[in-house]
Amino acid sequence: MSKIKLLSPRLANQIAAGEVVERPSSVVKELLENSLDAGATRLEVEVEDGGVKLMRVRDNGSGIDKEDLAMALSRHATSKINDLDDLEAVATLGFRGEALASISSVARLALSSATDESGAGWQVTAEGRDMETELAPAPHPKGATVEVRDLFFNTPARRKFLRTEKTEYNHLEDVVKRLALSRYDVSFTLRHNGRAIHNWRGGATQAERERRVAQVCGPAFMDNAVHLDIERGGLRLWGWVALPTFSRSQADLQHFYVNGRAIRDKLVTHAVRQAYQDVLYHGRHPAFVLYLEVDPATVDVNVHPTKHEVRFRDGRTVHGFIFSSLHHALAEVSPEDRLARAETEASRPHNDAPGQMSQQSPMAFNAQRPAGDWRENYFPAAMQSATGATAVGQPAVAEQGASYPSAAGYQAQPLEDLAASEGEIPPLGFAIAQLKGIYILAENAQGLIIVDMHAAHERITYERMKTAFAGGQIQAQPLLVPATLAVSEKEASCAEEHPDTFAALGFEIQRAGPESLLIRQIPSILHGAKVDQLVRDVLSDLIEHGASERLAHRVNEVLSTMACHGSVRANRKLTTAEMNALLRDMEATERSGQCNHGRPTWTLQSLDELDKLFMRGQ
């Protein structure tokens, strides 16, 4: 007898279901994507027992003809692609033609539909049998309804892997939220065990988009989010990124879409992490809702059964575009922008979500200050020209913040008098006192500003040192004795193919053998550092991403350490003029809201918040 035989249609579908149908949320995802592809503008999702007992998705899309209903439950049946050219530039969410067939093989499925408003529809049913379907008349408005009952009723081994009702529902709700963020023009309704959970109305205006994001991600996210819309070289990135102070303990508020498709991609994740690398507290995760629009022909969405992953034709360009766009968007956030958000946020009750760092709590992480010699006195960079002092490791850089009102000779005066004499009140106001040699207290138009003076000056010094370093070429230092580095043959070939990349980084590397390299020259700033691991990391990045930011990060680490030691220390008594000069520099410095370690540098206590503390007006 022959040992090789064809699988039965039922078993083939159940194997395919193992790739497509992991849990109830997988079913809802496939059904909703089909509805969106059908042009639906209203989607209703109803589930019971977390979706295990019942999942019903109703839409007002184009519907399915009577002649096509039975075919819709067949494997490899689709209306979305016809040939290879269609597959190479997929513009729809679904296209594989396996979802309905796979679902019907492990559940009891009923598909009802009508293509016009007459109300005369048809229904096809299947219950995990060998491709057997039953067709019968069923009244139905224009659109389609898919009802899935008793998931995995005929595959009990897979049913055992399902979690509790609450866990399965949470996964399902996340799917609905992700799709709701992908289509602002579509209305979504979600009901669980007969109770209405969500009802999101569709809209196309900016205000309606922001309302949807606030409904899905929470109003606190929108209060702390920066909107961006950047287009360059055929790529467009738009959406919202949260301030670094609105970080999370886990990556649970990260939504990224490519041409409307929610994805999880290593290249995208790497680019976003790199953009936040210089401002995010260690161990925290950024929050964002971002949309990348590219030519469909330049991205392959057919690399994973669930279509969660994609492959870009030019990954290096996409990575660089995402990184630079987010990097500049975060750098351009000024104290004035944050104060405007705080004012909006104060107009409604604020409750921090678990794992979220509040902009109102500068010490939320209980972070330890970098150790230092408390006896040393360091002066703010803006005051060095007057005192003749030079901070350790700090280059002579032109004074910034000169466009702000001068605070020299300032004496304690009412804010109204200062505004009259100095002009407009600066965002961070004017200094009124120093607390315990650590914090600067300042008064602005909204209330009390509290500044961690070491953290603030550390960021100012760091940004100036980076600017000075970037202004000149990387200084290289030849090694008296070249260092030999053992690598794999693939890594050695990569180094041989990218000599210009390493030269631009200040390295001179030659191939000494099939699996060895010679390091003849290194950047001067890395003298004494272990560069072998850095070279390995750069090679790893070049192989995986086609580019590397490792050296920039290593240089930034060195500059950060120098800036930390070259910044004003705690217990250093500052004059009022020095405190105000520091405030003006903060307003003129990029990323001044966080120190080099990601801690907040300042916070606002508004007058309303102070009134609540003392129960004024109650």
Taking the CB of residue 181, how many other CB atoms lie within 10 A of it? 21
Q: Judge whether residue 591 has pLDDT over 60.
A: yes
Q: Which domain range does residue 112 map to?
A: 9-200
**Is the domain of 436 the same as that of 469?**
yes
> Which single residue is written with the structure tokens 């209203």?
42
Q: Are residues 307 and 374 in the same domain?
A: no
Contact in structure between 383 and 567 (CB atoms under 8 Å): no
Residue at 354 is within a domain: no
Higher pLDDT, 248 or 550: 248
pLDDT attached to residue 392: 32
In this prediction the pTM is: 0.73
Is the predicted pLDDT of residue 91 greater than 70, yes or no? yes
Question: Do 420 and 454 share a domain, yes or no?
Answer: yes
- Which of 140, 165, 200 is a domain's end point? 200
How do 187-192 and 42-48 pair as beta strands? parallel
Q: What pLDDT band is residue 418 in, cutting at 50, 70 and 90?
A: low
Q: Give the model's confidence band at 406: pLDDT under 50 very low, under 70 low, under 90 confident, else very high.
A: very low
Q: Which residue has the higher pLDDT, 483 or 10?
A: 483
Task: Report the pLDDT value the prediction gives residue 373, as an integer from 0 to 100.
Answer: 30
Q: Decide if 140 is inside a domain.
A: yes
Query: Residue 206 domain-assigned?
Result: no
Total structural domains within the chain: 3
Q: Is residue 213 part of a domain?
A: no
Scanning 21-135, the segments in alpha helix (DSSP H) are 24-37, 66-72, 84-87, 99-106
Tell whether 212 is covered by a domain: no
**Is 3 within the bounds of a domain?**
no
Judged against a pLDDT cut of 60, whether residue 383 lies above it is answered with no
Rounded Cα–Cα distance for residues 171 and 179 (Å)? 13
Residue 386 and residue 277 share a domain: no
Domain boundary, last residue among 166, 200, 234: 200
546 and 423 in a common domain: yes
Residues 331 and 376 in one domain: no
For 331-373, write each residue's pLDDT tens digit.
888 888 777 766 665 555 544 443 343 333 332 322 333 333 3
Specify the higher pLDDT residue, 89 or 29.
29
Residues 279, 598 contacting (CB under 8 angstroms): yes
Q: Which residue has the tokens 């009259």?
A: 420
Per-residue pLDDT tens for 182-220?
999 999 999 999 999 999 999 989 999 999 999 999 999
- Tell me: pLDDT of 519 over 80: yes
Say yes or no: 270 and 327 in one domain: yes
* pLDDT value at residue 158: 87
> Are 474 and 415 found together in one domain?
yes
Q: Looking at the structure, tell me whether residues 54 and 153 fall in a common domain.
A: yes
Helix, coil or strand: residue 485:
strand
Q: Is residue 208 part of a domain?
A: no
Is it the case that residue 554 has pLDDT exceeding 80? no
Per-residue confidence (pLDDT) for residue 396, from 0 to 100: 34
Three-class SS of 22-48:
CCHHHHHHHHHHHHHHCCCCEEEEEEE
Q: What is the CB neighbour count within 10 angstroms for residue 367?
A: 16
CATH number at residue 43: 3.30.565.10
Q: Are residues 188 and 289 in the same domain?
A: no
Per-residue pLDDT band for 550 (boundaries 50, 70, 90) equals low
* Beta bridge pairs of residue 299: 312
Q: Are residues 430 and 317 in the same domain?
A: no
- Claim to verify: residue 188 and residue 235 sit in the same structural domain: no
Taking the C-alpha atoms of residue 69 and residue 532, their distance in angstroms, rounded to an integer, is 63
Range in 103-112, 164-173, 263-272, 412-421 with the lowest mean pLDDT: 412-421
Cβ–Cβ under 8 Å, residues 601 and 582: no
Contacts of 322 (CB under 8 A, 6+ apart): 237, 268, 271, 272, 275, 292
Residue 521 one-letter amino acid: Q
Q: What residues does 516 pair with on adjacent strands? A: 486, 513
How long, in residues, is the chain? Answer: 618
In this prediction, what percent of the chain has a pLDDT beyond 70?
Answer: 79
**What integer is the mean pLDDT of 438-453?**
93
Q: At 592, which CATH number?
A: 3.30.1540.20
Residue 318 belongs to a domain with what CATH number? 3.30.230.10
Amino acid at site 202? G
Region 376-395: mean pLDDT is 34
* Whole-number percent of the chain with pLDDT over 90: 42
For residues 581 and 379, give the distance between their C-alpha atoms in angstroms, rounded to a whole number: 11
**Would residue 21 count as lying in a domain?**
yes
Residue 228 CA to residue 199 CA, distance in Å, equals 27
User: What is the per-residue pLDDT for 507?
Assistant: 83
